[in-house]
Structure 1
């Protein structure tokens, strides 16, 4: 049942991202997705394997759910956030950031409820701080990458 829920959840998020009005170019979205994926994999690997603060289930169907959350859901949530707030006012960015953090924490709570992940010396507050750092990093990297593309003449600034 958990795998079906995660597959449907992944499908809804991917569909929303596909039909979302994107302010960034395809190459920007692709590079940002790969960057978010890389950063998320590195941090979660460090937290789960090296520091043992979070453990994930070794059952195949639950591990696939963890994989979907780590490799598809979370990077797409960040891309939806970046595309939704890019070049908008600070107030819109803050409100969208709060909703994105809440949504990210709800997906993590769902993973805990289904026993996909388990906390060891970890808390929702630390997850809140990590999700907030991800959002700030996502905005910073997207703005930096846009400047690089503008410098190369691929986009107008």
Structure 2
């Protein structure tokens, strides 16, 4: 059940991003997507293999949901957030967007834990919150660098 859910979620999020009004152009979004994919792949690999905080599934069919989650779903959600964050003007909207991003990414984490795609050893809510907070901060930093270089 985890793989069909991940495929459907990928398609829904992809369509949402496609029709969203974007502050970054295609090249900037592509560079940010590649940088975020590299960052996510490295962090998840370190968490799974080196510090043993993340346990991956042994089921080969269910394992396909993990690369979708790691390499497609999370970066596209961050691209949606970054484009909306750059377009928004008020601090209230930006803080609401940040809370919505954290809630949605933690909900997707929980759903993948529920389906058995990933599992945290000695799970605490602080680890995913810190991961997603650092992830969004680094993506905003990369977006800032990309937009300054082009101007």
Q: TM-score range, shorter-chain basis? A: over 0.9
Cα deviation digits, residues 86-119 of structure 1 (max 9, x gap) = 1423322211011001100000000110111111
Distance in 2 (CA, whole Å) between partners of 1:138 and 1:5 is: 26
Distance in 2 (CA, whole Å) between partners of 1:84 and 1:6 is: 23
Trace 1:5-20 onto structure 2 (pairs within 5 A): 5-20=5-20
Distance in 2 (CA, whole Å) between partners of 1:113 and 1:53 is: 17
SS at match of 2:64: helix
Distance in 2 (CA, whole Å) between partners of 1:115 and 1:106 is: 14
SS at match of 2:127: helix
Equivalent residue number for residue 60 of structure 1: 60
Q: Is the 8 Å Cα contact of residues 23 and 84 (structure 2) preserved in structure 1?
A: yes
Between stretches 69-78 and 141-150, larger displacement belongs to 141-150
Given the alignment of the two structures, is residue 144 of structure 1 paired with residue 140 of structure 2, yes or no? no
In structure 1, runs of 5+ residues without a counterpart are: 151-157
Equivalent residue number for residue 155 of structure 1: none
Equivalent residue number for residue 128 of structure 1: 129
In structure 2, runs of 5+ residues without a counterpart are: none
Cα deviation digits, residues 5-33 of structure 1 (max 9, x gap) = 11111100001001111111100000000
Equivalent residue number for residue 117 of structure 2: 116
Larger Rg: 1
Distance in 2 (CA, whole Å) between partners of 1:123 and 1:40 is: 20
Runs of 4+ deviating beyond 6 Å? none
Q: Normalising by structure 2, what TM-score?
A: 0.95
Equivalent residue number for residue 80 of structure 2: 80
Q: Is the 8 Å Cα contact of residues 56 and 117 (structure 2) preserved in structure 1?
A: yes
Distance in 2 (CA, whole Å) between partners of 1:64 and 1:31 is: 24
Between stretches 67-76 and 120-129, larger displacement belongs to 120-129
Q: Normalising by structure 1, what TM-score?
A: 0.91
